[in-house]
Structure 1
Amino acid sequence: MPAQETHKPAELIWGHGPKKLEVFLEPTCPFCVRASRKLMPLLAHVGEEAMTLHIYLHSQPWHLFSGVVTRCILAAAALPEGRDKAWQTLRSVGDHREEFEFAHHYEGANMHTTPEELLERLEVYTRLNLAVPFRLASVTEAIKAHTRYARHNKIHVSPSFMLNGTLDERFQSGQSVEEWAALLK
């Protein structure tokens, strides 16, 4: 039976400036983890009055737990202070990536891991109760909305970056915060 609807997941938006950077991240991808660690420093460097950062979760099927982990992050977004709880959860996945990913995308210790165990791991790392919001219909709708938006904008890989509504392949996860800031000008 579905959980009672209590909260719609918060949008993952920071800042309010005219430069709009939309970033599509797969939570267990090492390149996305590297990129995600630079996003808040970029916002601080550029300034919230100059830039709006919008994060979309972009599940990738070769990361075999991607859908479950994405759902956990959006479940965190349905909690009070959801945007920041989702960010905390995304960071926790990155900090413990091997516990949420298969070795070589198909083998290793996680072969016997269940979705329930993944949820419990994230609850331990984040100290958040994710079990109830995990089951919300609004979380399912948020996952679909993130996916539709990515498909509509022809996003196929992650991380991907859109600057002011246009896919911008100049942004790469290996670049520095300063290099990204220069691309915003």
Structure 2
Amino acid sequence: MALQPSLRPLLIAGKLDAPHTLDVFLDYVCPFSGKLSVTIDKIVKPWVEAGGRYEGKIKIIFRNQVQPWHGASTFTHEAGLAVARVTPNKFWPFSLRLLQRQGEYYDIPTSTLTPVQIREKLASLYAETDVTSDQVEAFRDLLRNKSTPNGGVSVTDELKYTIKFSRQNGVHVSPSVLWDGLLANEISSSWGETEWAQFLQQKVAV
């Protein structure tokens, strides 16, 4: 699947020229996305990386799946995209940390916070991923509203791209997974090693 150059950090495992693509659409404040992210990280990702059984055969791409009915969803995805811009190698570690701490960004905990306060909370979370103070400030700067009243922030264009990508591919819920460009509705957040092993064995000729 296509991946514009500025979003290369969203390639979380494998090489860009791998013949098979696993697109994983996750929302940072979706509990089921949180569950699937752990499985992807602990089970599937090692199979795709150097020395794994599917090295050179599969790439895994994180796809931002904004769920606007959750008030903080947009802010969390902006944060992920800002991390991808400032420290590309920290995108997946930050994403995992955010998915593990997602309860702090649920509707009720954020209901009394302003957008500025939510973004500052996300900056504090980013600071926990072994980055410098300058990088944290660069992150904050990307999430500051532009000078025009309705201009968004510096990663708004990337956010628009990810939303349009989901829409044109008919992705409506999180988590969703595409295998080689087609929705794989059989994949569940409850899958473990056995189910993933069977799925990939059927799809990939080792």
Q: TM-score range by the shorter chain?
A: 0.7 to 0.9
Which of 1 and 2 has higher RCO (CA within 8 Å, sep 6+)? 1
- Mapped to 1, the partners of 2:111 and 2:71 lie a distance apart of 10
2:45 aligned residue: 43
Matching of residue 131 in structure 1 with residue 140 in structure 2: yes
TM-score by length of 2: 0.76
**1:45 and 1:181 in contact (8 A); partners too:** no
Encode CA deviations 1:114-148: one digit per residue, 9 max, x unaligned. Answer: 22222222222221512112248651111111111
Distance 1:159 1:126, change over 3 A: same
- Mapped to 1, the partners of 2:109 and 2:143 lie a distance apart of 24
Aligned-residue Cα RMSD (Å) equals: 2.1
**2:28 and 2:76 in contact (8 A); partners too:** yes
Q: Which stretch shows the higher mean deviation, 41-50 or 91-100?
A: 41-50
Q: Which of 97, 102, 106 in structure 2 is aligned with 1:97?
A: 102
- Mapped to 1, the partners of 2:77 and 2:103 lie a distance apart of 15
The alignment partner of 1:54 has SS state of strand
1:78 aligned residue: 85
- Mapped to 2, the partners of 1:92 and 1:43 lie a distance apart of 16
1:147 aligned residue: 163
Q: 1:154 is aligned with what amino acid? A: G
TM-score by length of 1: 0.84
Stretches of structure 1 lacking an aligned partner (at least 5 in a row) = 1-7, 103-107
The alignment partner of 2:86 has SS state of coil
The alignment partner of 1:78 has SS state of helix
Q: 2:104 is aligned with what amino acid? A: E
The alignment partner of 1:28 has SS state of coil
Q: Which of 154, 173, 179 in structure 1 is aligned with 2:189?
A: 173
**1:21 and 1:164 in contact (8 A); partners too:** yes
**1:10 and 1:78 in contact (8 A); partners too:** no
1:3 aligned residue: none
2:176 aligned residue: 160
**1:9 and 1:79 in contact (8 A); partners too:** no
Distance 1:18 1:126, change over 3 A: same
- Mapped to 2, the partners of 1:132 and 1:20 lie a distance apart of 33
The structure with more radius of gyration: 2
1:29 aligned residue: 30
**1:89 and 1:122 in contact (8 A); partners too:** no
Q: How many residues matched?
A: 172
- Mapped to 1, the partners of 2:80 and 2:110 lie a distance apart of 19
- Mapped to 2, the partners of 1:163 and 1:93 lie a distance apart of 25
- Mapped to 2, the partners of 1:29 and 1:166 lie a distance apart of 22
